[in-house]
Structure 1
Amino acid sequence: MTRKNPYRKKAVALEYDQTKAQAPVVKAKGQGYVADEILKRANENDVPVQEDKSLVEVLSQLNINDKIPEDLYQAVAEVFAYVYQVDKKTRN
């Protein structure tokens, strides 16, 4: 008898275009192998990754190309602030 892993890794990739006055958009999402691929490609392209299981859980309910809802703006803004800081440190 095989048991399924109760926790499968999940990942969500967001895109934010500062030149547009729009909310960030879900560009990729997945679990298991797909999540591993999202993280692998992020690492290959020097895209900072932040781990936040509860936020990923909520964002994974959205569809690809969906804008994030207003009630998630604060949480996502914190992620982008983290990414900005990591990017700034990496460049220096």
Structure 2
Amino acid sequence: MSDKTAKRSQAIALAYREGSAAPRVVAKGKGMLAEKIIEKAREAGIFVHDSPEMVALLMQVDLDSQIPPQLYRAVAELLAFIYMLERGEDIAAPDFSYLSETTQENSVVSDTHHSDLL
């Protein structure tokens, strides 16, 4: 485990099934639980991407809920990046620094009745 991985305090796992309206948050946690999520993902051969800005927003989404529409673009960029990596393309990771403005100014609210960027 690298120093960078050991210092992560939060982790989110997303899952997307073809035909679904949007990816779902299937696991999230802080501290030791975050490390366990990352460890299990790596053991399963699942790509782990480090994006504090995206994690900060996704931590606000309820477990087993779809991501809110306000995060579709960022998550789509991440999924496209992962698909290109899986095809063996040499591509730079997307820059999600623009999400830090959203993190500072807004909150993502998600429950079974309401998803909105406040």
In the superposition, the TM-score normalised over structure 1's length comes to 0.83
Q: Partner residue of 2:14?
A: 14
**Kept after mapping to 2: 8 A contact 1:26/1:63:** yes
Please state how far the C-alpha of 1:22 moved relative to its aligned partner. Answer: 1.1
Q: Partner residue of 1:55?
A: 54
CA distance in 1 between counterparts of 2:69 and 2:60 reads 15
Any runs of at least 4 consecutive aligned residues in structure 1 with deviations exceeding 3 A, and if so which?
A: none
* More relative contact order, 1 or 2 (CA 8 Å, 6+ apart): 1
Alignment of 1:8-87 (within 5 A): 9-18=9-18, 20-87=19-86
CA distance in 1 between counterparts of 2:80 and 2:8 reads 27
* Residue-by-residue CA offset, 1:40-86 (whole Å, 9 max, x unaligned): 01110110111110100000011111110101000001111122122
Structure 2 residue runs without a partner (length 5+) = 1-6, 90-118
Where 1:89 maps in the other structure, the secondary structure is: coil
Q: Percent identity?
A: 36
**Kept after mapping to 2: 8 A contact 1:14/1:26:** yes
Please state how far the C-alpha of 1:8 moved relative to its aligned partner. Answer: 5.8
CA distance in 1 between counterparts of 2:34 and 2:59 reads 11
**Kept after mapping to 2: 8 A contact 1:49/1:83:** no
Q: Partner residue of 1:4?
A: none
Q: How many residues align?
A: 83
81-90 vs 21-30, which deviates more?
81-90
In the superposition, the TM-score normalised over structure 2's length comes to 0.65
Please state how far the C-alpha of 1:87 moved relative to its aligned partner. Answer: 2.0
